[in-house]
Every structure is written in structure tokens, then in C-alpha cells.
Chain A
């Protein structure tokens, strides 16, 4: 568990981050959303002490980060940035091996870990491991950046606009992959973005940041349904709000017992997926199947539309 307690940063009299406190539960994804200049990247960089706070403290599992040598702290926290920052003179394998090497892992264990991570990120080790960063596509570089951050099995991952440089198709894929990896590894993730859709898609809780302060810290449903401030309302209040909302609710929650014809949809899919299928196939109701593939009910358009508002 990570406690951020009254964190403040002044740069020459300008307050970039102003008395921010929040708690990140172990194994959850917290997304900080804000416009550029809102202080969100500064906040992120204070967690691994790339920037030293003016006031306040960060506690990781009860230990004040000020009591840990900065480079040792950073080896325990994965860090991913938009431009991935891969070391251009090292191969993919060497890049991924960086932190395990620093921690003195035996070579055999390191090379095993490299293959494991490349597999996890759906990169072919025999093809990718020996390449230099400039020989990778944008999507591959991004995944290698994530692999490097995960290499030494950190409990925590800091990500600064990790998908910002990817085109929309790859970005959506990368986001769902991250969600899968997080579920698999159970890491605590703090991710910074300016993209509300990304925040809603990924997060367990969203912190909306503006002018160095947290405007609202809440699960995505609450941010959408009950925005605390005008700033948050403006940020989520666009025409996409009902769709964001639907995307957060699983079909299982609103399905009814009934019969519908045509292809079925999984009950774990979101109501937005169901709506899209209804529009595309011209149906008013869809059969729903459960995890074992059996039809367990149906979802109707009325039920779905009723769920799409606060």
C-alpha cells in the first residue's frame, strides 16, 4: 500500500503540486488525469524521487521513501515514459536486463526472465531480443519499455503517458494488455494521462488533477456520475459521458431472464459492447452467455438504455 501524504512541490515560488494526499491500494490501478501543467507528472516523479518534494512524504508499505537511498528505491519501482527512453546502444535483451543486473541476479535467471517477459508482452524472443531499439516499431518499443520496467518484479509501476505515442488501434490493444498484465502480476500502478477515456478504461480509481491539486479522487463510475467540481464536470461532461458510463458496467449486472435470437455476448462484456452489437446487428435484445459458454439470459435495449444514465 502506498500513502501519499501532503506532497507539495514548489519550483522557484510556483507551486506545481499543492498538498496532495492519496492512498493507492496494493494491486490497483490509479490514474491521474489532468491537463498539461496540472502537476501530474511532477507528482509521479516525486514517488521515485526523480524530483524531491518541498513538503510531504510518500510511504511505501509503511516505509518513508526518504529513508531509502534514491537508486535503491528506484530499482524497486518500475518506470515507463511516453518516449520509452530505451538505451539506444543496448539490445532489447540488455535493456530489459538493466535492473536485474543492478540487483546482481545470476545470468541464467536474467535470460530466463527476459524470455518470460517478452512472451508476456507478446514479442517473439528469438526475433526481438537481439535487436537494437531503433530497429523496433513504436508499439514494440513501448512494450519493451514496459518489459524493462517489470523486469525485477517491482511491486509498483509508475507510468507517464505510456501510450501517448501510439496510434489509436495499437493504443487500445496496449491498454487492454496492461490491464491483463496487472491482473496477472497484481502490481500497484500509478499512471498519468490527459486522456479521460484511457483513465476510465484502465482505472480502479481516478484522481482528477488541476493546478497542482486533486479535484476529485474516486472510482470512475463516481467521477462520471457525481463530479465534485466544475472542472471535473467539464472534463467528463462531453457527449461521450453516457458511453463511458456504459463501458464500465458489465452485461451481467443488467441482464434479464428471457430469450433472444442471434449470436450471444459474454456477460463480462460491458454494456457499451452490447449496445454496439445491437446497433450493428439491428437487434433489440441479445442472448448472454456465462463463462462456460452457456446461455444465461438476455440483455434488452430498454434495460441497457436505462443503465446509461446516473
Chain B
């Protein structure tokens, strides 16, 4: 019962996002009271659908490489051969996390210019830590009897990693990706301060022109997308866990 309510709510949220992006004018009556007199209630300086897609592309463009690198790094330092590099790797990803994205933007703009790249760099650095730490946890918390059995049946180290250890750690790794993706989705809004295309543009336009309707639609779209992505990755991890009998 509670499950079906949750699914219905997600479905409704998805429908809301789609209808809002495809025919924003539908929602004009709802947003009009929040706009100053005579000002547009729906953001009109760019197509909302295009902004949303480039927002999502920013997130994907930062989180996919962050996942590859963080997982790769964690895998290397979790092997005996790379164990020495654990403190160093941890320090690097920690710096990525402690450095505020705004500061990264400020430092990156002189190097790579305005637009997409400084935002990608900031989101990438910010996304490393949760994925790295979760991968390490996932790979080190494996049931000892299972890893022993994997060796004892005659899997090579390579086979044991790809067939047993990594698939078993995957739900925990996905939890890290989930966290990074959601953080990136909300943090990407500040990318608009350096002219990256995204939903931040709508919020900033609302702030500068004192238009609450813009702030609301930018904020709500970002928030609902974050929830949907969080749920989607969560659902994936849930199914993997369920199959492994962890639930």
C-alpha cells in the first residue's frame, strides 16, 4: 500500500516534469500570482526543455568520468599491489570534496574560460569522494566465506574480482554514484554564474529580476529531477541487493 503510494507520487512527479517542459504554458495560471505584474510567469529567454537537457548533460558529463576514475582508483588501492597509494588517493579525493565548487569555478574560469568546462571540473571533483569511499567499503565488506570459496573453487584473482567481488560490491558503489549524482544535479545550478547552460539560469534570472515564479520553476524542476534520479539509481541498487538476498 505504502509502496504503491510512493510509486504513484513518483509517476505524478515525472508527469509534472514532462508536461511542464513540453507545454510550460499549461502552468501559467498557477505561476502567474508569483510573477510581478506585467512580467512573464514562465521563463522565456530560453527553451526550458533545452535548459533541462543541458543541465542533465552537465551532470552526466561530470559524474560518468568521476565514476570511472573514482571506482578505478578505489579498485587499484584495494588490491595488494596498490595498497600503498590508499592514503594518497584518499587525500586527493578529499581535497576535491572540501574545496567548495564555487571556489573551483572561480579558479577554473581563468584557466579554461567561461561556460561548460569550469562547471564540469567543479562537479567532477565534487563527485569523486562518495564514489571512491563507497567503492572501497563495498570491496572490503564482502562476506569472507564467499571470497574464500571463490578462491577455493579455482577462480584466478582476475576472475574472482570481475565475477564475484565487483558484482557483490556494486550495490554499495551505486549508492555512492547516487549521492554524487544528486549533489551534482543541485550544485550544477551555480554553474550558471559562469554561463554554463542549465536550470540555474532560470533561478538566477528570477533572483535578478525579482521574479518568484522563475525561482520556483527553476528550483522545483531541479529538485524533482534530483528526487527522480535518486530514486531511479536507488531502485537499481535495491534490485541488485534483493537478488543477493541482502534485503
A interface residues (Cβ-Cβ under 8 A, vs B): 48, 50, 71-76, 79, 81, 83-89, 98-99, 102, 132-135, 148-149
Known A-B contacts A102-B159, A132-B245, A133-B245; A87 and B152 likewise in contact (beta carbons under 8 Å): no
Within the complex, which residue of A74, A89, A134 is in contact with B152, where a contact is CB–CB below 8 Å?
A74
Q: Does B244 contact A (CB under 8 A)?
A: yes
Assembled-state Cα–Cα distance A132/B159 (Å): 21
A71 to chain B, nearest CB (A): 5
Of chain A, the residue at the smallest CB distance from B146 is A85
Name the interface residues of B96-145: CB closer than 8 Å to any CB of A. 143, 145
Q: What A residues does B155 contact at CB under 8 A?
A: 71, 98, 102
Within the complex, which residue of A88, A99, A102 is in contact with B168, where a contact is CB–CB below 8 Å?
A88
Q: Are B245 and A75 in contact (CB under 8 A)?
A: no
Known A-B contacts A132-B245, A133-B245, A134-B244; A88 and B146 likewise in contact (beta carbons under 8 Å): yes
Name the interface residues of B160-182: CB closer than 8 Å to any CB of A. 164, 167-168
Q: Are B153 and A79 in contact (CB under 8 A)?
A: yes
Please indicate which of the listed interface residues A79, A85, A148 has the most CB atoms of chain B within 10 Å of its own CB.
Answer: A85
Within the complex, which residue of B146, B156, B246 is in contact with A87, where a contact is CB–CB below 8 Å?
B146
Q: Are A135 and B245 in contact (CB under 8 A)?
A: yes
Q: Are A85 and B245 in contact (CB under 8 A)?
A: no
- 18 A-B pairs within 8 Å (CB atoms) are namely A72-B154, A73-B154, A75-B154, A79-B152, A84-B149, A85-B143, A85-B145, A85-B146, A85-B148, A85-B149, A87-B146, A89-B167, A89-B168, A98-B155, A102-B154, A102-B159, A135-B245, A149-B153
Known A-B contacts A81-B145, A87-B146; A71 and B154 likewise in contact (beta carbons under 8 Å): yes
Q: What A residues does B75 contact at CB under 8 A?
A: none
Q: Does B8 contact A (CB under 8 A)?
A: no
Assembled-state Cα–Cα distance A72/B156 (Å): 9
B interface residues (Cβ-Cβ under 8 A, vs A): 143, 145-146, 148-156, 159, 164, 167-168, 240, 243-246
Of chain B, the residue at the smallest CB distance from A45 is B152
Assembled-state Cα–Cα distance A148/B155 (Å): 13
A188 to chain B, nearest CB (A): 17
Q: What B residues does A74 contact at CB under 8 A?
A: 151-154
Assembled-state Cα–Cα distance A86/B244 (Å): 11
Assembled-state Cα–Cα distance A99/B153 (Å): 6
Please classify the interface of chain B as helix (H, G, I), strand (E, B), loop, or mixed, using the class held by over half of its residues.
Answer: helix
Assembled-state Cα–Cα distance A84/B150 (Å): 11
Known A-B contacts A89-B244, A148-B153; A84 and B159 likewise in contact (beta carbons under 8 Å): no
Assembled-state Cα–Cα distance A193/B189 (Å): 63
B66 to chain A, nearest CB (A): 25
Q: What B residues does A149 contact at CB under 8 A?
A: 153
B148 to chain A, nearest CB (A): 6
Q: Are A81 and B154 in contact (CB under 8 A)?
A: no
Assembled-state Cα–Cα distance A71/B150 (Å): 10
Q: What A residues does B150 contact at CB under 8 A?
A: 85, 87
Given A75-B153, A84-B149, A88-B146, 4 further pairs, Cβ under 8 A: A71-B156, A73-B154, A102-B153, A132-B245
Q: Are A84 and B145 in contact (CB under 8 A)?
A: yes
Known A-B contacts A50-B152, A79-B152, A102-B155; A88 and B145 likewise in contact (beta carbons under 8 Å): no
B88 to chain A, nearest CB (A): 28
B17 to chain A, nearest CB (A): 34
Within the complex, which residue of B148, B156, B164, B245 is in contact with A81, where a contact is CB–CB below 8 Å?
B148
Q: What A residues does B243 contact at CB under 8 A?
A: 89, 132
Q: What B residues does A50 contact at CB under 8 A?
A: 148, 151-152
B48 to chain A, nearest CB (A): 41
Please indicate which of the listed interface residues B152, B155, B156 has the most CB atoms of chain A within 10 Å of its own CB.
Answer: B152
Assembled-state Cα–Cα distance A159/B156 (Å): 21
Q: Sorted from nearest, which 8 A-B pairs have the closest CB atoms? A: A134-B245, A85-B149, A75-B154, A74-B154, A79-B152, A85-B145, A83-B145, A88-B244
Q: What A residues does B148 contact at CB under 8 A?
A: 50, 81, 85
Q: What B residues does A134 contact at CB under 8 A?
A: 244-245
Of chain B, the residue at the smallest CB distance from A83 is B145
Q: Are B153 and A81 in contact (CB under 8 A)?
A: no
Q: What B residues does A133 contact at CB under 8 A?
A: 245
Please indicate which of the listed interface residues A76, A83, A148 has the most CB atoms of chain B within 10 Å of its own CB.
Answer: A83
B158 to chain A, nearest CB (A): 10
Q: What B residues does A87 contact at CB under 8 A?
A: 146, 149-150, 164
Q: Are A48 and B152 in contact (CB under 8 A)?
A: yes
B139 to chain A, nearest CB (A): 15
B94 to chain A, nearest CB (A): 31
Please indicate which of the listed interface residues B146, B148, B149, B155 has the most CB atoms of chain A within 10 Å of its own CB.
Answer: B149
Q: What A residues does B153 contact at CB under 8 A?
A: 74-75, 79, 98-99, 102, 148-149
Assembled-state Cα–Cα distance A135/B167 (Å): 19
Q: What A residues does B240 contact at CB under 8 A?
A: 89
Q: What A residues does B246 contact at CB under 8 A?
A: 88
Of chain A, the residue at the smallest CB distance from B244 is A88
B80 to chain A, nearest CB (A): 15
Q: What B residues does A98 contact at CB under 8 A?
A: 153, 155
Assembled-state Cα–Cα distance A99/B159 (Å): 12
